[in-house]
Amino acid sequence: MKSSQKRSMAWSQLLPAFLFVSALVVFAIGCAGESKKDAVAEGEEWFKSYCTPCHGEKGDGQSQMAAMMDTPPKNLRQIAQRRNGEFPDAEISKIIAGVENVPGHSTTDMPVWWEAFKTAEGITDEKVLQAKIDHITAYLKTIQE
């Protein structure tokens, strides 16, 4: 068999594997974009379920419960504005989790969501809990004015 035939045969045997790997790469790139989108969508769902009673449907602090609270809830649409245009992802995530205190918040006003999600959602995996909180943070970042 000539070497050109061997090369042709080798290429024809490798082509399916090459196409499969290429398809996986394209799929992975597509999924990376989708996962960010999904994270924001899930964060919005969680926000609507857990945060709107106090922070309002729009996240502007306008809710029926706001008047009954010791400290009115902040307008979450202005986080970046209060920070000179920068959205502090890590800090917001810590506030939602209850790791970092917010001036004006008493522990009875804002639940420690890390513990609340464990109880309400039955989530025990800390990585899953952190992902849920990060998704809420990702959503909040999208509603900034």
Q: What is the pLDDT of residues 2-36, one digit of tens each?
A: 555 544 445 455 434 433 443 333 334 444 444 55
Please report whether residue 27 resides in a domain.
no
Tens of pLDDT, residue by residue over 55-71, are 999 999 999 888 888 88
Say how many residues make up the chain: 145
Whether residue 14 is contained in a domain is answered as: no
Q: Which residues contact 55 (CB under 8 A, 6 or more apart)?
A: 47, 61, 63, 73, 74, 76
Instruction: Band the pLDDT of 85: cuts 50, 70, 90.
Output: very high
Read off the pTM: 0.70
Position 9 in a domain: no
Count of domains for the chain:
1
CA atoms within 13 A on the CB side of 51: 27
Q: Apex CA 38: angle with CA 28 and CA 57, to 5°? A: 165
Q: Mean per-residue pLDDT for 91-110?
A: 75
Range of the domain at 77: 36-142
- Predicted local distance difference test score (pLDDT) of residue 109: 64
Could you tell me the CATH number of the domain that includes residue 93? Answer: 1.10.760
pLDDT at 64: 87
Within a domain: residue 99?
yes
> For residue 139, which of 30, 32, 38 has the smallest C-alpha distance?
38
